[in-house]
Amino acid sequence: MSDMEGRTHTPGPWRLRSWRFLNETEWKRRIEAAQQIDGRTHFTVICEFIGSEADATLMAAAPALKEELREMLGYAYQALNLAGCGRAPLIKKDIERVEALLKQIEGEDNHDQRDGVEG
């Protein structure tokens, strides 16, 4: 999936795998994407880390969440057009919030995601 600047992310769906070895107390997590190549399923590792299942589940859902946001944005624009711009302030605010979130997801906002500092 390519964004406006030509950057890409690995297409979904992504899945979560968790495991721990004998004698280890922390769970290891891996986010993987399935790809069909020559009729066989191959998995690309997106990331591996030690952390909570809740964080990993959210990360694994990221591609689907992004696509749902885009689809919902389209519906919001349709609703805004039907209602008229001046008569639908809540829809306009929802559109602005979703557009800002998509810009953040696509790395187009002014926040440095590595350290949380605005730039």
What are the pLDDT tens digits along the chain (119 aa)?
444 455 678 888 899 999 887 777 888 999 999 888 899 999 999 999 888 889 999 999 999 999 999 999 999 999 999 988 777 889 999 999 999 999 988 887 655 544 454 44
Domain regions of the chain by residue span: 1-60, 61-119
Q: Find the DSSP H helices in 4-118.
A: 53-60, 62-83, 89-105
| pLDDT score of 7 | 62
Q: How far apart are CA 107 and CA 20, in angstroms?
A: 33
* Token pair of 108 as six digits: 């187009």
CB atoms within 10 A of CB 55: 12
Q: Do you know the residue count of the chain?
A: 119
Q: How far apart are CA 113 and CA 106, in angstroms?
A: 11
Cα–Cα distances (Å) from 61 to 11, 15, 67, 114, 115, in that order, read 11, 8, 10, 21, 23
